[in-house]
């Protein structure tokens, strides 16, 4: 679907877009909206006498506001009109991702807003807040609010600066038409993005399922099977061995080197310093040399075993912190096979709880985990097949991610063109009706 340009344009007078339709205006925000910065939170003055739930900066995301389980602030009755929200109010983040905007839909009765949020309320009926929301998306994508920030301080969008910005203003009917057009077209794009993200999740699930099946059942669907004697493993190829971890692998945790971040900064060098999920820094010494794999000892990553790798192959000269078990295969169990076996394994039966959401895999528990050990040649074949599956999945995921990037760029370009008048969408409703 293509749209015409307007008949005549004029210079915008601002440096972040060149021109706008000649009948549009570019008034400062203070002439269009009442701006109020939210209530400062002071825990020392909380009495509980006048409790009101309030929205925080983190609750305001693009085009949505969290209204669930909000914290409470004291607001005197005389201040409630100033510091509470009405349906249709614009909420703009003063810090964090400055300029992030949403429209309050009026849910939950009287709700206040904290100091890190600006509330904008139209001064008259010539403003369409949905159109203005899209203007804010465009301005933020152009880093308009960052450009005038002090580079030596944390960026903030002060009320004075916000009120002074000159932003495009079509007629009310045009604002309404542009908002309707963008609501419709961005929803289509968002739906396509969601499809691609779902595809990525399906690809990850399929990758894990194929590798998990290969690691526990082998590559030959006609291989004779036998009961493993372990409920979580079920039947396994009858020529595979079932061993506990202690008889298949060695743990070399005495080689771990806990070094705090500040010390690492003082001894920077070429040798990797690993945590359970990757390189944390590089230092000028090494303790470990050879081929190993790491298995996290503590943290919350154990809960993500279906989508995140539990193991990490490492080799060469390196160091390991004290949050990962340092492991090598032994006998007929290769290190790479052991790493693949644990890559997406649910370790929850062997974990000990350490506070909210944090678990620990102690060495004594690790040594009791049952493992499947195919003959060495079969281990190599399964490792090769797993590598092929991962590479294919990686390419397909990269293709989906490229599609998402292009769709998001298209979304940004469409918003930019519509809110600055590069395209005339006033006939959009007629085109949709005729389609």
- Kindly state whether residue 84 falls inside one of the protein's structural domains: yes
End-to-end CA separation in angstroms for the chain: 10
Residue with tokens 């008259």: 124
Counting residues of the chain whose pLDDT is more than 70, the rounded percentage is 95
Which residues have a Cβ under 8 Å from the Cβ of 370 and sit 6 or more positions away? 228, 230, 232, 233, 242, 243, 244, 245
Same domain (yes/no): 175, 302: no
- The answer to whether residue 433 scores a pLDDT higher than 60 is no
Highest-scoring range by mean pLDDT, 37-51, 138-152, 216-230:
216-230
pLDDT tens digit sequence for 7-25: 999 999 999 999 999 999 9
206, containing H or E segment:
helix 172-217
User: Whole-angstrom Cα distance, residue 387 to residue 207?
Assistant: 10
CATH number at residue 337: 3.90.220.20
DSSP 8-state secondary structure symbol assigned to residue 41: P
Count of domains forming the chain? 2
Q: Which pLDDT score is estimated for 309?
A: 85
Taking CB atoms within 8 Å and a gap of at least 24, the contacts of 342-346 are 342/293, 342/295, 342/310, 342/311, 343/211, 343/309, 343/310, 343/311, 344/208, 344/211, 344/212, 344/305, 344/306, 344/309, 344/310, 345/305, 345/310, 346/232, 346/305
Q: Which pLDDT score is estimated for 421?
A: 97
Transcribe 237-288 into DSSP letters: ETTSEEEEHHHHEEE-GGG-----HHHHHHTEEEEEEEETTEEEEEES--SE
Same domain (yes/no): 365, 430: no
Same domain (yes/no): 35, 181: yes
Same domain (yes/no): 428, 339: no
- Kindly state whether residue 400 falls inside one of the protein's structural domains: no
Q: Which pLDDT score is estimated for 305?
A: 78
Bridge partners of 21, per DSSP, are 9
The mean pLDDT value of the chain amounts to: 93
Contact call for residues 117 and 93 (beta carbons, < 8 A): yes
Same domain (yes/no): 326, 429: no
- Tell me the mean pLDDT in the region 390-405: 98
- The answer to whether residue 232 scores a pLDDT higher than 70 is yes
The token duo for 292 is: 């190993």
Contact call for residues 100 and 118 (beta carbons, < 8 A): no
35, containing H or E segment:
strand 33-37
Give, in order, the Cα–Cα distances in Å from 294 to each of 275, 363, 389.
8, 13, 22
Same domain (yes/no): 369, 284: yes
**pTM as predicted:** 0.84
Q: Which pLDDT score is estimated for 29?
A: 97
- The answer to whether residue 267 scores a pLDDT higher than 80 is yes
- The answer to whether residue 404 scores a pLDDT higher than 80 is yes
- Kindly state whether residue 94 falls inside one of the protein's structural domains: yes
pLDDT tens digit sequence for 271-302: 999 999 899 999 999 999 999 999 999 877 77
Same domain (yes/no): 165, 107: yes
- Kindly state whether residue 249 falls inside one of the protein's structural domains: yes
User: Whole-angstrom Cα distance, residue 56 to residue 144?
Assistant: 23
Instruction: Write out the E strands in 151-266.
Output: 225-227, 235-237, 241-244, 249-251
Same domain (yes/no): 178, 271: no
Q: Which pLDDT score is estimated for 430?
A: 64
User: Whole-angstrom Cα distance, residue 172 to residue 122?
Assistant: 12
Full residue range of the structural domain in which residue 59 is found: 9-186+420-434
Q: Which pLDDT score is estimated for 74?
A: 87
DSSP 8-state secondary structure symbol assigned to residue 4: P
């Amino acid at each position: 679907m293509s749209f015409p340009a307007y008949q005549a344009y004029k210079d915008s007078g601002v440096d972040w877009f060149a021109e706008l339709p000649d009948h549009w205006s570019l008034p400062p925000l203070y002439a269009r909206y009442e701006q109020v910065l939210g209530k400062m939170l002071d825990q020392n003055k909380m009495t509980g006498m006048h409790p009101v739930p309030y929205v925080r900066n983190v609750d305001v995301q693009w085009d949505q506001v969290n209204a669930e389980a909000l914290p409470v602030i004291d607001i005197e009755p005389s201040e409630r009109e100033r510091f509470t929200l009405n349906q249709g109010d614009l909420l703009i983040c003063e810090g964090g991702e400055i300029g992030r905007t949403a429209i309050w839909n009026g849910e939950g009765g009287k709700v206040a807003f904290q100091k890190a949020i600006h509330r904008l309320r139209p001064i008259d009926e010539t403003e369409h807040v949905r159109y203005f929301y899209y203007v804010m998306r465009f301005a933020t994508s152009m880093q308009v609010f960052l450009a005038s920030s002090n580079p030596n301080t944390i960026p903030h969008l002060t009320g004075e600066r916000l009120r002074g910005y000159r932003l495009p203003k079509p007629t009310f009917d045009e604002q309404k038409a542009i908002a309707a057009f963008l609501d419709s077209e961005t929803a289509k794009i968002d739906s396509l993005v969601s499809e691609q993200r779902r595809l990525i999740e399906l690809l990850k699930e399929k990758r894990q399922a194929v590798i998990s099946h290969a690691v526990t059942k082998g590559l030959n669907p006609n291989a004779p099977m036998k009961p493993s004697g372990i409920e979580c493993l079920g039947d396994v190829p009858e020529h595979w061995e079932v061993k506990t971890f202690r008889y298949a692998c060695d743990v070399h945790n005495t080689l771990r080197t806990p070094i705090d971040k500040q010390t690492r900064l003082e001894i920077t060098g070429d040798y990797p310093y690993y945590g359970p999920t990757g390189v944390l820094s590089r230092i000028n010494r090494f303790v470990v040399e050879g081929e190993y794999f790491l298995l996290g000892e503590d943290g919350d990553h154990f809960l993500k075993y279906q989508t995140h790798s539990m193991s990490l192959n490492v080799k060469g000269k390196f160091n390991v912190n004290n949050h990962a078990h340092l492991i090598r295969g032994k006998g007929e169990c290769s290190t790479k096979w052991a790493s693949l076996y644990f890559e997406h394994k649910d370790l929850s039966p062997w974990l000990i709880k350490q506070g909210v959401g944090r678990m620990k895999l102690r060495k004594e528990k690790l040594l009791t985990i049952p493992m499947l050990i195919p003959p060495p040649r079969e281990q190599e074949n399964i490792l090769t097949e797993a590598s092929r599956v991962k590479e294919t999945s990686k390419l397909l995921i990269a293709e989906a991610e490229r599609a998402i990037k292009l769709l998001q760029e298209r979304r940004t370009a469409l918003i930019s063109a519509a809110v600055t008048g590069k395209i005339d969408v006033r006939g959009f409703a007629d085109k949709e009706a005729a389609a």
